[in-house]
């Protein structure tokens, strides 16, 4: 499988691009295939579960996603930076940092799952509005562990520049999700339990296994089940460095996941179950398109971190905005297609999701267009700006939703979400510009 992806390296000269574009095309191809596979999987799950059960499934996934980000503590992005730097000069140190990151992430995930289980009755009753469904929440938490495993390996692959292998993991794990969902549906066994355990958590574990096998052949074992992992002397200092760098990013990531899922919780709290299911479908479809944004983020993050001069920043912004604009133009085609495609594929009971999806697609395009300049927080090492901006976004989303939902219903939540995104972008770019201008004035 790896050899098949490496064939891209033997392509004709006229198909060869600069390193950033080349890596982006690899990740973009993988995420595009993943979108298609996940889309087919979503059709099977949505049509089989129906609006009510699909709404419950979406709420549980939102909760576990929030827990996953909460127990990450910003370590993933911090580790990518640390491992990538070490990989250039000292690969033994890169392996050491990878082992340290892997075991800390796994330990934090176990702690988070344990605390979540302890408070499961409170969480399911007050936040999720699923009384007497604590057992379903417990099953969903299995996905936190498997996602941590696969996410940690993918982060290591990203840090050492193995973008072909990342694409392979994305495609194969998504393909497994489709196959498992289809088999369960044909057997009449696709329900909330099997969807959570087999389709979601099970295929995440498959992704971990494939990603682990995709590490370099001489890579020492990350997993030592028979003995305590050897982290070598001085691992405490390295761990403190990871937590210190990742702290602000952790707060920012919590804000991001709240923006991504908080509207799902609000709809679940305030509106009827049918509307929850319809909104969950529209949100899920729009999130498929956001995977494209993630592919840009994967490649642009190390590039933005390495920018040193004003000219380099200008070139980066120009090239990044051109890529984002091209991707956005492609996504605009989905607006007219969705008006007939959603009712045809998902059934007439989900027809009201069309308008919701079209508005959410606009939000996704806004994120794609603003991504390149927002990543300049890594250029100027101003991660606290991201934390501040994401916190303001959450406040605007909650306050705006409370104000608008009574008069506009579910549409008010989407309007509040867009307002929150605008506030976050304006604050981030304003503070970055201020910092840049101050640096220009102070330089000789």
Mean pLDDT, rounded, of the chain: 78
Average pLDDT over residues 226-233: 48
Backbone φ, ψ for residue 188 (5° rounding): 75, 25
Q: What's the pLDDT band for 238 if we cut at 50, 70, 90? A: low
User: Cα dihedral angle (278, 279, 284, 290), rounded to 10 degrees?
Assistant: 140
* pLDDT higher than 70, residue 123: yes
Separation of alpha carbons 111 and 2, rounded Å: 35
Q: For 72-114, what is each residue's pLDDT tens digit?
A: 877 887 777 777 777 777 777 778 888 888 888 888 889 988 9
pLDDT (average), residues 264-274:
71
**Given a cut of 60, is residue 230 above it in pLDDT?**
no
With contact defined as beta carbons under 8 Å apart, do 314 and 376 qualify? no
Q: What does the pLDDT look like over 398-438, one tens digit per residue? A: 888 878 777 777 788 888 888 988 998 999 888 888 877 77
Is the pLDDT score of 356 beyond 70?
A: yes
Q: What is the pLDDT of residues 279-296, one digit of tens each?
A: 778 877 777 777 677 777
Instruction: Kindly tell me if the per-residue pLDDT of 362 is higher than 70.
Output: yes
Other CB atoms within 10 A of residue 135 CB = 11
Q: Are 288 and 38 in contact (CB under 8 A)?
A: yes
Q: What are phi and psi of 404, to 5 degrees?
A: -95, -20
């Amino acid at each position: 499988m790896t050899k098949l992806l490496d064939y891209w390296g033997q392509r004709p000269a006229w198909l060869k691009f600069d390193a950033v574009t080349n890596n982006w095309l690899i990740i973009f191809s993988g995420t595009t295939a993943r979108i298609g596979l996940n889309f087919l999987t979503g059709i099977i799950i949505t049509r089989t579960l129906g609006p009510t059960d699909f709404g419950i499934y979406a709420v549980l996934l939102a909760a576990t996603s929030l827990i996953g980000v909460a127990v990450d503590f910003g370590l993933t992005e911090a580790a990518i930076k640390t491992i990538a730097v070490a990989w250039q000069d000292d690969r033994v140190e890169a392996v050491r940092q990878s082992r340290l990151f892997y075991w800390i992430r796994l330990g934090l995930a176990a702690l988070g799952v344990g605390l979540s289980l302890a408070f499961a009755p409170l969480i399911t009753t007050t936040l999720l509005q699923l009384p007497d469904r604590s057992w379903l929440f417990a099953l969903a938490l299995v996905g936190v562990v498997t996602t941590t495993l696969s996410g940690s390996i993918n982060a290591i692959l990203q840090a050492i520049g193995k973008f072909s292998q990342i694409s392979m993991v994305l495609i194969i794990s998504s393909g497994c999700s489709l196959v498992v969902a289809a088999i369960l549906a044909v057997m009449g066994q696709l329900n909330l339990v099997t969807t959570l355990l087999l389709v979601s958590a099970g295929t995440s574990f498959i992704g971990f296994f494939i990603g682990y096998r995709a590490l370099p052949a001489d890579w020492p074992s990350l997993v030592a089940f028979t003995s305590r992992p050897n982290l070598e002397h001085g691992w405490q200092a390295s761990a403190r460095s990871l937590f210190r760098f990742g702290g602000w990013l952790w707060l920012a990531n919590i804000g991001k996941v709240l923006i991504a899922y908080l509207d799902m919780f609000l709809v679940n709290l305030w509106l009827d179950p049918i509307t929850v299911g319809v909104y969950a479908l529209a949100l899920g479809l729009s999130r498929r398109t956001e995977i494209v944004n993630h592919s840009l983020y994967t490649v642009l993050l190390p590039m933005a971190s390495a920018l040193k001069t004003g000219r380099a920043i200008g070139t980066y912004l120009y090239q990044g905005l051109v890529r984002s604009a091209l991707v956005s133009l492609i996504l605009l085609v989905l607006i007219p297609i969705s008006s007939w495609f959603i009712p045809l594929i998902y059934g007439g009971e989900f027809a009201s999701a069309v308008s919701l999806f079209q508005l959410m697609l606009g939000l996704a395009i806004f994120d794609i267009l603003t991504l390149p300049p927002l990543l300049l927080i890594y250029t100027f090492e101003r991660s606290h700006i991201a934390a501040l901006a994401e916190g303001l976004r959450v406040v605007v989303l909650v306050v705006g939703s409370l104000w608008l939902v009574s008069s506009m219903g579910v549409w008010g939540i989407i309007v509040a979400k867009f307002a929150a995104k605008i506030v976050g972008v304006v604050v981030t770019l304003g503070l970055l510009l201020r910092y840049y201008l101050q640096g220009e004035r102070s330089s000789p």
